[in-house]
Amino acid sequence: MGHASEVSIEKLAKEFQPILIDDERIERAYKLIRDMLVFTNRRLILVNKQGLTGTKTDYQSIPYSSIKMFSKESAGIGDLDAELKIWLTGEDQPTIKQDFRKGDNINEAYRVLSKYVLK
Protein backbone atom coordinates (compact mmCIF):
# COMPACT_ATOMS: atom_id res chain seq x y z
CA MET A 1 0.00 0.00 0.00
CA GLY A 2 2.94 2.35 0.45
CA HIS A 3 4.13 4.59 3.27
CA ALA A 4 2.11 7.29 5.00
CA SER A 5 3.52 10.74 5.72
CA GLU A 6 2.17 13.23 8.22
CA VAL A 7 0.03 16.11 6.91
CA SER A 8 -0.27 19.56 8.46
CA ILE A 9 -3.59 19.92 10.29
CA GLU A 10 -3.78 23.57 9.23
CA LYS A 11 -3.71 22.53 5.55
CA LEU A 12 -6.71 20.22 6.11
CA ALA A 13 -8.89 22.62 8.10
CA LYS A 14 -10.76 24.07 5.11
CA GLU A 15 -11.33 20.70 3.39
CA PHE A 16 -12.70 19.04 6.54
CA GLN A 17 -14.66 21.94 8.02
CA PRO A 18 -17.95 20.94 6.29
CA ILE A 19 -17.89 17.39 7.71
CA LEU A 20 -16.64 17.96 11.26
CA ILE A 21 -19.18 18.49 14.04
CA ASP A 22 -19.02 21.59 16.26
CA ASP A 23 -16.70 20.27 18.98
CA GLU A 24 -14.67 17.98 16.69
CA ARG A 25 -11.03 18.69 15.90
CA ILE A 26 -8.35 16.95 13.85
CA GLU A 27 -5.64 15.42 16.06
CA ARG A 28 -3.34 13.89 13.40
CA ALA A 29 -3.49 13.19 9.67
CA TYR A 30 -1.40 10.97 7.40
CA LYS A 31 -1.36 10.91 3.62
CA LEU A 32 -0.56 8.11 1.19
CA ILE A 33 -0.29 9.49 -2.35
CA ARG A 34 -3.89 10.85 -2.53
CA ASP A 35 -5.58 8.85 0.27
CA MET A 36 -5.50 9.83 3.95
CA LEU A 37 -6.02 8.62 7.51
CA VAL A 38 -7.44 11.45 9.61
CA PHE A 39 -7.68 11.04 13.39
CA THR A 40 -10.11 13.41 15.12
CA ASN A 41 -11.15 13.55 18.74
CA ARG A 42 -14.38 11.73 17.72
CA ARG A 43 -13.55 9.29 14.91
CA LEU A 44 -11.12 7.98 12.34
CA ILE A 45 -11.81 9.24 8.82
CA LEU A 46 -10.49 7.26 5.85
CA VAL A 47 -10.24 9.44 2.75
CA ASN A 48 -10.17 7.66 -0.60
CA LYS A 49 -9.58 9.87 -3.65
CA GLN A 50 -10.95 7.96 -6.62
CA GLY A 51 -10.26 8.01 -10.34
CA LEU A 52 -7.25 9.23 -12.26
CA THR A 53 -7.86 12.89 -11.42
CA GLY A 54 -8.93 12.31 -7.82
CA THR A 55 -11.99 14.53 -8.22
CA LYS A 56 -14.32 12.01 -6.57
CA THR A 57 -13.61 11.56 -2.86
CA ASP A 58 -15.03 9.01 -0.41
CA TYR A 59 -14.95 9.95 3.29
CA GLN A 60 -15.47 6.88 5.50
CA SER A 61 -16.09 7.61 9.19
CA ILE A 62 -15.18 4.98 11.75
CA PRO A 63 -16.28 5.74 15.31
CA TYR A 64 -13.56 4.83 17.80
CA SER A 65 -16.13 2.60 19.53
CA SER A 66 -16.08 0.34 16.41
CA ILE A 67 -12.35 -0.35 16.79
CA LYS A 68 -11.84 -3.55 18.78
CA MET A 69 -8.06 -3.81 18.51
CA PHE A 70 -5.03 -2.05 17.04
CA SER A 71 -1.32 -2.80 16.82
CA LYS A 72 1.97 -1.24 15.87
CA GLU A 73 4.62 -3.48 14.38
CA SER A 74 8.19 -2.21 14.13
CA ALA A 75 11.79 -3.15 14.78
CA GLY A 76 11.68 -1.39 18.14
CA ILE A 77 9.83 1.08 20.36
CA GLY A 78 11.42 4.03 18.59
CA ASP A 79 10.13 5.90 15.57
CA LEU A 80 11.35 3.45 12.89
CA ASP A 81 9.63 2.09 9.78
CA ALA A 82 6.47 0.54 11.18
CA GLU A 83 3.00 -0.74 10.31
CA LEU A 84 -0.25 0.26 11.98
CA LYS A 85 -3.07 -2.32 11.93
CA ILE A 86 -6.66 -1.68 13.01
CA TRP A 87 -9.36 -4.30 13.54
CA LEU A 88 -13.03 -3.31 13.51
CA THR A 89 -15.74 -5.03 15.54
CA GLY A 90 -16.81 -8.28 13.88
CA GLU A 91 -13.65 -8.65 11.78
CA ASP A 92 -11.02 -11.39 12.27
CA GLN A 93 -8.39 -9.70 10.11
CA PRO A 94 -7.22 -6.08 10.31
CA THR A 95 -9.50 -3.85 8.26
CA ILE A 96 -6.89 -1.11 7.99
CA LYS A 97 -3.17 -1.64 7.42
CA GLN A 98 -0.89 1.32 6.92
CA ASP A 99 2.90 1.55 6.67
CA PHE A 100 4.71 4.52 8.23
CA ARG A 101 8.19 5.72 7.34
CA LYS A 102 10.83 6.66 9.83
CA GLY A 103 10.18 10.25 10.88
CA ASP A 104 6.40 10.13 10.41
CA ASN A 105 5.93 9.20 14.06
CA ILE A 106 3.57 6.25 14.15
CA ASN A 107 3.76 6.61 17.92
CA GLU A 108 1.62 9.77 17.72
CA ALA A 109 -1.06 7.93 15.70
CA TYR A 110 -0.88 5.06 18.20
CA ARG A 111 -1.33 7.50 21.12
CA VAL A 112 -4.40 9.07 19.50
CA LEU A 113 -5.93 5.61 19.05
CA SER A 114 -5.06 4.70 22.63
CA LYS A 115 -6.58 7.91 23.97
CA TYR A 116 -9.95 7.43 22.29
CA VAL A 117 -10.32 3.63 21.92
CA LEU A 118 -9.21 2.69 25.44
CA LYS A 119 -11.72 4.89 27.27
Mean pLDDT by 10 residues, the chain (119 residues): 74 90 94 87 92 80 97 72 92 91 79 93
Query: Count of CB atoms within 10 A of residue 118's CB?
Result: 9
User: What backbone phi and psi angles, to 5 degrees, belong to 17?
Assistant: -55, -45
User: What is the pLDDT, as a whole number, of residue 8?
Assistant: 85
pTM, two decimals, is 0.84
- Give percent helix, percent strand, percent coil of the chain, each to the nearest 5: 20, 45, 35
| Strand, coil or helix: 96 | strand
- For residue 79, the SS3 value is coil
CATH node for 9-118: 2.30.29.50
Three-state DSSP state, 16: helix
Question: How is the chain split into domains, by residue range?
Answer: 9-118
pLDDT one-digit tens code per residue, 46-58: 998 887 766 788 9
Structural contact between residues 56 and 65, judged by C-beta atoms closer than 8 angstroms: no
